[in-house]
Structure 1
Amino acid sequence: MPYTPAPPPLELGGLAAVVTGGASGIGLATALLLARRGARVAVLDLDPDALPAADRDTLIALRCDVTDDASVRAAVAEAVNRLGALDILVNNAGIGAQGTVADNDDAEWQRVLDVNVLGMVRTARAALPHLRASRHAAVVNTCSVAATAGLPQRVLYSASKGAVLSLTLAMAADHIREGIRVNCVNPGTADTPWIDRLLSSADDPAAERTALHARQPTGRLVSAEEVAAAIVYLASPAAASVTGTALAVDGGMQGLRLRPEAG
């Protein structure tokens, strides 16, 4: 009888995770990978009905508005009640913005910062008592290459993600002695529903997509699954000594300076 090796252990078995903005894009890819690795997972989303029907037996979907503290606290409490604990928090909910510093009014600045920065604050604040009770507590924030590289027409979005980077570092320092690790991922331009909406409004969607591909040294967009793999690594016991780190998943966009290809 041929030898059949045992399947690898599920490194997240027994752990419970919450993913905000988890009904689509990077959040959904992350939630599904966490579940495949053995975690019990709840996704918190403004539109939980957007979760694909095929994934509703795997993931718990709860409505949550990250701009509303009461909504966040209720959703986190319900997630913990359904999951039995909370060990991993993935702060992924966020929105985009376009324009120079002159293009967005105060209301738009407040809206984007409320979602992208204060949304993470509210969720982390609600999760902290449960994370303190965990023997393996990890927070992973979805940041962006926009936090570390100057991108045209992205000043508001970049400012919000710069705040997320600083938030990550400060939280890591505050909570390391409580056994809570805090890290972030910095995706490049990822192939997500937001990018699809951005391209659909461009004058020449094909040319705009080509430009987005070209600005990453790999010559293509980052996939949601690639970002999810980095998030799950940072959340896992394999990263037990990793905290206060920003992991770039950007096709070399931040660090590489390539010469133009020979014509």
Structure 2
Amino acid sequence: MTPASDDRGDRPAASDIPEFPPTLREVLQRPRWLGMLLLCLVVAGVFAWLGQWQLARAVDTDPPAPGVTEEVVPLAQVVEPGHYLAESSGGQRVETSGTWVPEDFIVVSGRFNGGVEGYWVTGQLRVAERTSIAVALGWAPTREQADAAAAELTDAGAADAAITGRLIDDEGVTVPPRAAPYELDRMSPAALLSRWHDTEQLDVYRPYLASAQAPAGLEHIDSPAPEEKSTVNWLNIFYAAEWVIFAGFAFYLWYRLARDAWERELEEFDDAASSES
């Protein structure tokens, strides 16, 4: 007679089953999870440093004094040819002098003065040897008036000029409409440069100058002082808060993974206890 098989042969021995299931604290104190915690501390430290770096740049501790843009300063003191205009210098009133290039008085459309759309007459002012700046000289309500003023300036030849005006960033370029492929509707020194004469090895200022005084036949350009900006950069504060959240998430991820491992051990303990019984 074949002895009855013992269905307990595949079950773990009673000596292999711990008397009590592990606690979450015991699992968290194991070397594996302590190592993971150390890694999370390093990651959180990096995130905290990035948050502090963003926060340090969120508040301007040395903002420009009120009305500083209305003080007329030399152009060379504010920006150099080929360099971008600093944010704090946008709208700064400057003065410079030079000689007009007579062939380069160009009309730019889509310019508003007091809410009325019209045209600017612009020119290339040679402020030094092989160095030029784009200048918006004045505004006209119609294209005919703008073209007439540009023609008069061209006829005056390479005249010397002393200009005081407001320094403004390049507006960039756009694709011209098919109906008027050669018309400029943005005040862009880069676009004007492509139409200027005698430009070989020429250094050009990236911002342009809006003249405070218009020549005969044109109206003064409406160029108010820039609004005073807040000393707090809220976007940087938002980024700093994001880094803090990322640092907290690193610790949450460590805890969640360790808790999942602990819960699996509890299930295995319950299964083993059920098999033993």
Fold in common (TM above 0.5): no
TM-score interval w.r.t. the shorter chain?
Answer: under 0.3
Larger proportion of helix: 1
Higher relative contact order (Cα pairs below 8 Å, separated by 6+ residues):
2
TM-score (norm 2): 0.23
The structure number with the bigger radius of gyration is 2
TM-score (norm 1): 0.24
